[in-house]
């Protein structure tokens, strides 16, 4: 029974840290200027999501030790599946952006406009 309680606690902690990672992204004001404006939001999101990833592995390892007929064994696997899907989505979107770049045709380039009159 004690092992089930640990799985319940770690699933709750995982849920809180996952929810907080998305809330942190939305509720934090962007700081900085120029190109890195808002980077504080992204780093906070990644930090909280990393904590959620670690907690998902803890849930999985704790759930494996339970009997196969126990429902908390399956519930302990859910965080790892969700984290794996999230990481696969990030990798898939990144690869899609890299490989689906449209090719630039020479005809598509704008013609240069002279900025001054030529000198005689």
Mean pLDDT of the chain: 87
**Which residue would you say has higher pLDDT here, 66 or 107?**
66
Domain ranges of the chain: 2-86
Asked if the model's pLDDT at residue 110 lies above 80, the reply is no
Two structure tokens written together for 112 = 């240069």
Output the pLDDT for position 119.
65
17 — pLDDT class (breaks 50, 70, 90): very high
DSSP string, 38-95: THHHHHHHHHHHHHHHHHHHHHHHHHHTS-TT-HHHHHTTHHHHHHHHHHHHHHHHHH
Output the pLDDT for position 36.
86
23 — pLDDT class (breaks 50, 70, 90): very high
């Amino acid at each position: 029974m004690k092992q089930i309680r640990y799985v319940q606690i770690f699933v709750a902690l995982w849920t809180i840290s996952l929810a907080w990672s998305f809330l942190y992204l939305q509720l934090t004001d962007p700081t900085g200027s120029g190109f890195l404006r808002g980077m504080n939001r992204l780093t906070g999101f990644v930090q909280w999501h990393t904590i959620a990833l670690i907690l998902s592995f803890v849930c999985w390892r704790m759930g494996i030790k339970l009997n196969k007929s126990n429902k908390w064994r399956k519930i302990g696997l859910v965080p790892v599946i969700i984290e794996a899907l999230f990481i696969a989505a990030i990798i898939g979107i990144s690869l899609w952006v890299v490989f689906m770049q449209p090719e630039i045709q020479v005809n598509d380039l704008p013609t240069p406009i002279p900025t001054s009159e030529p000198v005689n």
